[in-house]
């Protein structure tokens, strides 16, 4: 089998693994309800090398919406971006926390072996050799990678002029606009008055993950960066757009401090005739991490659990509490409780890599990376 055929077979296999896991999780639970509908499904599969016999789906999510900026001010208790790609990454991070917690158990307590091993040089952990992660997304990520991106062909924003530009999500996450001018001079359609949207497109977030990793700033205190190895896209795919958005835009990002690097994604598109579901997107985003008993349902109008209105297992507050517990156990001497924002900012090498990424985008005339207001991260948790 030649390399192209082998890569195509691998991409199709990742798709089938994610689709089968989703069917298994929704069978009997949502099959007759509107929740079973989804516009976009994303999942992450873990393999040992490219051996599909070792493949395990480790995270899943559905969703296409974002909260309005008015609803994102409750100190880390809501999921503000419910796009499937973003939520599946958060679900993967939850899986990574569980893998670190395995290291704290006595070997007899669990037959499962953690995918993390101690760093040889001392301090922190890294993935076992050969552990790879692969993402499947049923539709091309919103933003620069999407062939027929909403808003891209309007008279105000002719599509070719803004190829490669960083973009923000608008209209509750259902469309994107390029970042082109000083914020004060832009009329941000779909945003609350006086509150411009600050949720970057999925394409831009995924490009960022190829530089700083999937683990995020908090976990980078404990582990080396965790990168996606491949991305498989279903409908609305176009390998030229994907390659430009995920690889060529990142060429100016250089001289990253070890252990950060610019990860070259293997890109795959499906040959199968998967059709993107039509109709109105459901007001529910679902997520699952390996080890969960079932799916968690999030209302995309509140960013909280649909059944109880309580915070999601993936919200910042939940993740921060889990990180603090691990930090206390692994680095007891260095632990000084701080806010969520402060704890992220003290991840020095991660923040340096992020700065190099955003500076390269800006220097290339592709726009400025917009960050959420820092006060949203000024909260503590008790553990």
Q: Nearest 5°: CA angle at 249, between 154 and 239?
A: 70
CA–CA separation, 223 and 70 (whole Å): 34
Give me the phi and psi of 7, to 5 degrees please: -65, -40
Decide if 188 contacts 230 (C-beta within 8 A): no
Say what the pTM is. Answer: 0.90
Residue 308 per-residue DSSP state: T
User: Predicted confidence band at 155 (pLDDT cuts at 50, 70, 90)?
Assistant: very low
Other Cβ atoms closer than 10 A to 291: 11
User: Predicted confidence band at 112 (pLDDT cuts at 50, 70, 90)?
Assistant: confident
Candidates 3, 20, 24, 85; catalytic one: 85
Q: What is the pLDDT of residues 292-319, one digit of tens each?
A: 999 999 999 999 999 999 999 999 999 9
What mean pLDDT comes out for the span 162-185? 74
Cα torsion 246, 252, 257, 260 to 10°: value is 10
What mean pLDDT comes out for the span 96-119? 86
The answer on pLDDT for 36 being more than 70 is no
Decide if 265 contacts 231 (C-beta within 8 A): yes
Whole-number pLDDT of residue 193: 46
Check if 85 is active-site: yes
- Give the residue with greater pLDDT, 275 vs 138: 138
Residue 277 gets the label, from left (phi > 0), alpha (psi -120 to 50) or beta, of beta
Q: Where are the domains of the chain?
A: 3-377
Q: What is the pLDDT of residues 177-199, one digit of tens each?
A: 888 755 434 443 444 444 555 79
Whole-number pLDDT of residue 276: 57
Whole-number pLDDT of residue 161: 58
Contacts of 282 (CB under 8 A, 6+ apart): 34, 35, 37, 38, 39
């Amino acid at each position: 089998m030649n390399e192209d055929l082998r890569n195509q077979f691998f991409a199709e296999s990742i798709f089938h693994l994610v689709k089968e896991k989703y069917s298994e999780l929704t069978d009997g639970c949502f099959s007759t309800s509107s929740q079973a509908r989804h516009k976009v499904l994303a999942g992450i599969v873990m393999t040992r090398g490219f051996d599909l016999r070792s493949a395990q789906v480790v995270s899943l999510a559905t969703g296409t919406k974002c909260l309005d900026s008015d609803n994102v001010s409750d100190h880390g208790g809501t999921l503000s971006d419910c796009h499937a790609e973003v939520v599946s990454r958060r679900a993967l991070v939850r899986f990574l926390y569980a893998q670190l917690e395995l290291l704290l158990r006595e070997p007899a307590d669990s037959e499962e072996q953690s995918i993390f091993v101690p760093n040889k040089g001392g301090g922190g952990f890294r993935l076992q050799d050969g552990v790879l992660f692969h993402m499947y997304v049923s539709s091309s990520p919103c933003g620069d990678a999407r062939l027929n991106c909403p808003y891209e062909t309007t008279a105000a924003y002719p599509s070719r002029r803004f190829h490669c530009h960083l973009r923000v999500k608008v209209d509750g996450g259902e469309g994107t606009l390029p970042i082109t001018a000083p914020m004060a001079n832009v009329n941000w359609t779909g945003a609350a008055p006086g509150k411009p949207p600050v949720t970057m497109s999925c394409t831009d977030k995924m490009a960022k993950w190829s530089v700083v990793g999937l683990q995020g700033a908090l976990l980078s205190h404990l582990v080396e960066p965790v990168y996606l190895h491949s991305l498989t896209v279903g409908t609305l795919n176009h390998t030229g757009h994907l390659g430009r958005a995920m690889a060529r835009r990142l060429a100016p990002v250089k001289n990253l401090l070890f252990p950060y690097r610019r990860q070259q994604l293997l890109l795959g598109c499906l040959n199968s005739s998967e059709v993107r579901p039509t109709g109105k997107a459901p007001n529910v985003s679902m997520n699952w991490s390996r080890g969960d008993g079932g799916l968690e349902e999030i209302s995309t109008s509140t960013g909280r659990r649909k059944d109880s209105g309580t915070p999601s297992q993936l919200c910042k507050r939940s993740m921060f509490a889990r990180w603090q517990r691990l930090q206390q156990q692994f680095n007891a001497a260095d632990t000084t409780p701080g806010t969520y924002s402060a704890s992220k900012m003290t991840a020095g090498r991660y923040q340096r890599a992020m700065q190099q990424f955003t500076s390269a985008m800006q220097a290339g005339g592709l726009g400025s990376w917009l960050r959420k207001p820092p006060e949203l991260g000024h909260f503590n948790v008790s553990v």
